[in-house]
Amino acid sequence: MTDLSQYLPILIFLLVAVGLSSVLVFLPMGVARLTGTHQPSEDKNSEYECGFPAFEDPRSQFDVRFYLVAILFIIFDLEAAFLFPWAVSLKMTGWAGWLTMMVFLGELAIGLAYAWKKGALDWE
């Protein structure tokens, strides 16, 4: 038979985390409703950065440039995420690690040049 008392600290931690996060999420919403600062308007619900209305038919078509920008952001964000551990471990990996990263960066530079030439970075 398993002794489940070992899991009691984890359960207490989870309950405290859920309780604290619930308070931090729902308390400001409740205070806003009670004090009258929750006043949605057309300006507050209008599109800001996405370029199309958020509360419309979800099947409506929109420009593919949103996808291109998102994909390019993910690619170059991952590049930055790979550069930090590579820089830390460069002493251990030596020339092989350096050469591998230069090939990786070269591939990304070719991809960036291709996207730039095709006009994926131009926003009209």
Render pLDDT for 61-72 as a digit per residue (tens, 0 to 9). 767 777 778 888
**pTM score of the predicted model:** 0.48
Token readout for 27 is 């308390």
Judge whether 121 and 76 are in contact, CB under 8 Å: no
Structure tokens at 47: 């599109």
Q: Is residue 34 part of a domain?
A: no
> Does residue 76 sit within a domain?
yes
**pLDDT, tens digit, for every residue of 87-114?**
999 899 999 999 999 998 999 899 889 8
Whether residue 74 is contained in a domain is answered as yes
Structural domain contains residue 27 = no
Residues 6+ apart with CB under 8 A from 97: 86, 89, 90
Range of the domain at 99: 58-124
> Quick check: is 92 in a domain?
yes
What's the gap between Cα 33 and its chain centre? 29
**The domain that contains 92 carries what CATH number?**
1.20.58.1610
Domain count, the chain: 1
Say if 106 falls within a structural domain. Answer: yes
23, part of any domain: no
- 70, 62 Cβ separation under 8 angstroms: no
Domain annotation covers residue 35:
no
